C-alpha cells in the first residue's frame, strides 16, 4: 500500500488540473496514490484527468458536495498513512512530499505538517508574494483561529490517525458516513471548513501542528471570484466561531474579538486589491473597533494596511497605482529575503 494518499478535489478546474497532477507525478518521493474526486464538475476536468496513464491515479465521481464534501470522500477512500490535500488549481514543488514525509517520520508528536507557500497567478507565474507564517511550532487554538498558519488547503500533509481521531458519523447525504471536514458549515461562496478542522484537531486531540520553513506549495490566486467571496468569508468565520464556542467556550471568549479583527483586516486588504476604497475603509474601521491590539501584535502589517486604505480612499487613482507598485516591489524584496533566510527556497522547475 502507498504511504501517502494525495486527495485532489476537482470542480471546474479543466484549465489547471493537468499541471496540478503533473506536479504530483514529478515528486522526488514516489510512494503515493492520487485520488481525484470529481465533485460533479460540469466541465472537462475528468476528461483531462483520464488522459494520464499512471496506475497510481484513481478517479472517484460524485454529485456536487462542495470542497469539504470532496475532501471527505477522498479521505474515506485513502489507504495511505499520510494524507496530503491538494486543490486542483495549485502546484507542488518536486520535494514537497519528500520533505513532509521526513518531517512526520522524524516527529511522532506532529499530526499536521505544513509549509510556506508562494502565490502564483492564473498563468502559473510567481507573483513574488508568499505565505510565511511567523509561528511554525507550539501552535495553539487561538492562533489557528486568529492567524491560520497553515494558510491554504494545498499545504497540509496529515497523519491518517489525526483524521481517525476527529472523525464523526453523520447521515447528511442519506447514508451514515464518516466525516472529517464539517460539510454542514459549507458556504456557497466561501469556505472556512479547513480552519474549523485544524481548530478541532488542536482543541480535541493531542496532535501538534508544525511547519517547515520552506516554500513547497504554489497557491494560485484567482481574481475572478474575489469580489463575491470577500464578505462571505466573514460569514463563514462566524459559523466556525459559533461551533467552536460549543467545544471550548473559554478559548473563544478570549480570542473571538481578536480573530474577527484579523479577518476584518484581511478583508480590508482584499478590498484594497479590488480598488474598493469604501469597503476597505469600512472593514478597517470594523477591524480596529473589534480589537485595536492587533496594532501592537502586528504593528508593521496593520500599519501598512491602514496606510494603503487611506491612500486608496483619498489619493487620485493614477498616483495611488504608482505608489502601490513601489510598495509591492519593496514587499516582494522583503518577503523573498524572509523565505530564503530560513532555508533554501526552491523554485518552480
Any domain includes 348: no
Region 192-196: what's the mean pLDDT? 94
Domain that holds residue 284: 248-336
- The answer to whether the beta carbons of residues 212 and 116 sit under 8 Å apart is yes
In this structure, the answer to whether residues 65 and 210 fall within a common structural domain is yes
In this structure, the answer to whether residues 195 and 271 fall within a common structural domain is no
Percent of the chain exceeding pLDDT 70 equals: 87
In this structure, the answer to whether residues 59 and 208 fall within a common structural domain is yes
H-state helical runs in 171-273: 193-204, 226-229, 232-247, 249-273
Any domain includes 301: yes
Task: Summarize pLDDT for 65-103 with one digit per residue, the tens.
Answer: 999 999 999 999 999 999 999 999 999 999 999 999 999
Any domain includes 346: no
User: What CATH number has the domain bearing residue 224?
Assistant: 3.90.550.10
Of 201, 235, 269, the one marking the end of a domain is: 235
Of 204, 235, 266, the one marking the end of a domain is: 235
In this structure, the answer to whether residues 192 and 276 fall within a common structural domain is no
Any domain includes 343: no
In this structure, the answer to whether residues 218 and 257 fall within a common structural domain is no
- Report d(CA 80, CA 22) in Å as an integer: 20
Of 235, 267, 288, the one marking the end of a domain is: 235
Any domain includes 114: yes
Region 5-33: what's the mean pLDDT? 97
- Report the mean per-residue pLDDT for the chain: 89
- The answer to whether the beta carbons of residues 211 and 136 sit under 8 Å apart is yes
In this structure, the answer to whether residues 270 and 147 fall within a common structural domain is no
Higher pLDDT, residue 228 or 195: 195
Any domain includes 104: yes
In this structure, the answer to whether residues 212 and 303 fall within a common structural domain is no
Any domain includes 182: yes
Q: What is the DSSP string of 15-78?
A: TTHHHHHHHHHT-S---EEEEEEEES-SSSHHHHHHT---TTEEEEEES--HHHHHHHHHHHH-
Number of domains in the chain: 2
Output the pLDDT for position 274: 76
Output the pLDDT for position 331: 58
- Report d(CA 219, CA 32) in Å as an integer: 21
Amino acid at each position: 500500500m502507498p504511504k501517502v494518499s494525495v486527495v485532489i478535489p476537482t470542480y471546474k478546474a479543466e484549465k489547471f488540473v493537468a499541471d496540478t497532477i503533473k506536479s504530483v507525478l514529478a515528486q522526488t518521493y514516489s510512494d503515493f496514490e492520487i485520488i481525484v474526486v470529481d465533485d460533479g464538475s460540469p466541465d472537462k476536468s475528468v476528461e483531462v484527468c483520464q488522459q494520464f496513464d499512471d496506475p497510481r491515479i484513481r478517479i472517484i465521481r460524485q454529485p456536487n458536495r462542495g470542497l469539504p464534501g470532496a475532501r471527505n470522500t477522498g479521505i474515506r477512500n485513502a489507504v495511505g498513512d499520510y494524507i496530503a490535500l491538494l486543490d486542483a488549481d495549485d502546484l507542488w514543488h518536486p520535494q514537497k512530499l519528500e520533505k513532509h514525509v521526513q518531517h512526520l517520520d522524524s516527529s511522532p508528536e506532529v499530526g499536521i505538517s505544513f509549509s510556506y507557500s508562494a502565490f502564483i497567478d492564473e498563468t502559473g507565474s510567481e507573483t513574488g508574494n508568499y505565505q510565511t507564517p511567523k509561528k511554525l511550532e507550539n501552535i495553539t487554538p487561538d492562533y489557528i483561529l486568529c492567524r491560520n498558519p497553515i494558510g491554504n488547503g494545498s499545504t497540509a500533509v496529515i497523519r491518517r490517525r489525526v483524521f481517525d481521531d476527529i472523525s464523526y458519523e453523520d447521515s447528511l447525504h442519506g447514508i451514515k458516513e464518516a466525516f472529517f471536514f464539517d460539510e454542514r458549515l459549507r458556504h456557497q461562496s466561501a469556505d472556512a471548513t479547513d480552519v474549523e478542522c485544524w481548530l478541532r484537531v488542536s482543541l480535541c486531540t493531542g496532535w501538534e501542528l508544525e511547519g517547515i520553513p520552506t516554500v513547497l506549495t504554489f497557491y494560485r490566486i484567482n481574481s475572478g471570484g474575489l469580489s463575491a467571496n470577500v464578505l462571505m468569508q466573514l460569514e463563514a468565520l462566524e459559523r466556525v466561531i459559533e461551533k467552536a464556542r460549543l467545544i471550548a467556550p473559554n478559548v473563544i471568549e478570549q480570542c473571538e474579538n481578536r480573530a474577527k479583527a484579523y479577518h476584518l483586516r484581511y478583508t480590508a486588504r482584499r478590498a484594497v486589491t479590488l480598488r474598493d476604497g469604501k469597503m476597505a475603509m469600512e472593514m478597517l474601521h470594523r477591524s480596529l473597533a473589534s480589537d485595536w491590539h492587533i496594532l501592537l501584535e502586528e504593528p508593521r502589517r496593520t500599519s501598512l494596511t491602514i496606510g494603503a486604505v487611506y491612500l486608496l480612499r483619498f489619493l487620485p487613482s493614477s498616483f495611488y497605482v504608482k505608489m502601490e507598485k513601489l510598495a509591492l516591489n519593496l514587499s516582494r524584496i522583503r518577503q523573498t529575503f524572509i523565505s530564503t533566510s530560513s532555508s533554501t527556497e526552491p523554485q518552480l522547475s
